[in-house]
Chains A and B, each alone.
Chain A
Amino acid sequence: MDRALLAYSEKITFFPEQLTSGDLNALREVGYPEKQVLDIVLVAGYRHYITRIANGIGIEIGADRVEESILAQYTYSHDAPTKQASEIRELQGDGATLGQVMEEIEPGLWVERPDFSGVGETLGTEFQEWEKLIGFVPNWLTALSLHQESAAAASEFARYCTFGGSPLGSPREHLIGYLVASLLRAPYFLGLHGSQLREQGASQELLENVQGWRNAALSEQDQAILEFVEHLTLDSHRVTQEKVDRLVATGLSESEILDVVVLTSFLNCFCRVTDALGVPLDPASKAFFEKFKPAFMQ
């Protein structure tokens, strides 16, 4: 069971877009009950949040808390070769486009979803908050309903850092979300943030190829933010004081830099969670993908 747990953790780290229902079945087959399958996804997802926070803010564990020999073994140089997805994909020659990834998605949610008549008050209130905010309850939230407390807390977290909840403001939140989802080739959040960006008037060029942001008509500050987001998503251990200073030089405050780190880290968690659970697209996202599918196939 432990081996299966670790194999799953490795895959959700490097190749979340390649996860299938078969990966969850592999966990079930070695004896994990349904609730623990969801727990594994959430615990692994959380680790992708908190490691980005730690690397993005540059915090180090106190030498008083860890044996020196262990600390030495797990101290990484900012110049060390990355183990992250960008280089692994290059090594393995995985050239699937986002469009191809989308075509291979198995339909349907891959975990059990309880009858919603059994939804407790806290999660029910969160559902109502989303109805008020965007007119529907997003599928990613209902997908977590087997673990209602965690789902309600994740919902509150999402309302804090997306859809205008954070001090960064809505267009910038969606821009960051769209880039992270694109880098991770995570269709669910790509559709969610892409459809919102489109509504807010983002250019066709940017929507078709957000990873080409260096050539897009964006402010110097937005470009600096996206460069930082890219680093934090793909090579978080390479974030340095110099890269943070570059954000400061464009006029971003230290609190706003923290907002960028929190949102990027949140998305690194939840893009993986939605990939891992096979969360179906929301209606607005389906329409968005129909429109942009030709561009994503390139």
Chain B
Amino acid sequence: MAFIPMIPEEEATGLLKQCYDRNLQTVGRTSEVVTALSLRPEALRVSTHFRSTTLFGASDLGRRREEFIATLISDLVQCSY
């Protein structure tokens, strides 16, 4: 269970709902790391924008190499998510 409350999809309104909807369109689900920022919709908006311009096809590395980096760093900093 997360350390702070997270707003579920069905309760999202306004900017938060827009962020959730956009994430659903691009990733196909509302992932936990998105709802983690739900108490601050503007933080979610700017960080999601940065992600979408940097990863998941926005880099020239390709998904395989992006995931190589992601998996190694997640293990090194011990982040199971």
Shortest distance between the CB of B52 and any CB in chain A (Å): 8
How far apart sit A83 and B73, CA to CA, in the bound complex (Å)?
A: 11
Judged by a CB distance under 8 angstroms, whether A6 is at the interface is yes
Shortest distance between the CB of B14 and any CB in chain A (Å): 15
Contacts of A43 in B (CB 8 A): 54-55, 59, 61, 66, 69-70
Q: Do the beta carbons of B76 and A10 come within 8 Å of each other?
A: yes
Q: What 0/1 readout, one digit per residue, does chain A (259-298) give for beta carbons within 8 Å of chain B? A: 1001000100000000000000000000000000000000
Judged by a CB distance under 8 angstroms, whether A55 is at the interface is yes
Q: What 0/1 readout, one digit per residue, does chain A (53-88) give for beta carbons within 8 Å of chain B? A: 111111111100000000100111000101110000
| From B32, B58, B61, B73, contact of A59 by CB (8 A) | B32
How far apart sit A33 and B60, CA to CA, in the bound complex (Å)?
A: 10
Judged by a CB distance under 8 angstroms, whether B12 is at the interface is no
Q: Is the interface of A mostly helix, strand, loop or mixed?
A: helix
Closest A residue by C-beta to B32: A59
Q: Interface size (B, Cβ < 8 Å)?
A: 42
Q: Do the beta carbons of A258 and B37 come within 8 Å of each other?
A: yes
Q: Do the beta carbons of A58 and B68 come within 8 Å of each other?
A: no
Closest A residue by C-beta to B81: A54
Judged by a CB distance under 8 angstroms, whether A244 is at the interface is yes
How far apart sit A254 and B68, CA to CA, in the bound complex (Å)?
A: 33
Contacts of B42 in A (CB 8 A): 160
Q: What 0/1 readout, one digit per residue, does chain A (3-15) give for beta carbons within 8 Å of chain B? A: 0011001100110
Q: Do the beta carbons of B39 and A255 come within 8 Å of each other?
A: yes
Contacts of A53 in B (CB 8 A): 33, 36-37, 47
Q: What 0/1 readout, one digit per residue, does chain A (150-170) give for beta carbons within 8 Å of chain B? A: 101110110011000011000
Closest B residue by C-beta to A158: B46
With known contacts A2-B68, A47-B69, A262–B40 Cβ distance under 8 A: yes
Contacts of B59 in A (CB 8 A): 36, 39, 42-43
Shortest distance between the CB of A62 and any CB in chain B (Å): 7
Closest A residue by C-beta to B50: A153
Q: Do the beta carbons of B78 and A160 come within 8 Å of each other?
A: no
With known contacts A10-B72, A44-B73, A157-B46, A59–B2 Cβ distance under 8 A: yes
How far apart sit A125 and B58, CA to CA, in the bound complex (Å)?
A: 21
Judged by a CB distance under 8 angstroms, whether A223 is at the interface is no
Judged by a CB distance under 8 angstroms, whether A40 is at the interface is yes
Shortest distance between the CB of A168 and any CB in chain B (Å): 11
| From B4, B46, B75, B81, contact of A258 by CB (8 A) | B4
With known contacts A54-B81, A150-B53, A6–B68 Cβ distance under 8 A: yes
Q: Do the beta carbons of A2 and B3 come within 8 Å of each other?
A: no
| From B43, B58, B74, contact of A160 by CB (8 A) | B43
Interface residue ranges, B against A (CB under 8 Å): 1-6, 32-33, 36-37, 39-40, 42-43, 46-47, 49-55, 58-61, 65-66, 68-70, 72-81
11 contacts between A and B (CB under 8 A): A5-B69, A10-B76, A55-B77, A55-B79, A57-B2, A61-B80, A84-B77, A156-B49, A166-B43, A236-B79, A237-B78
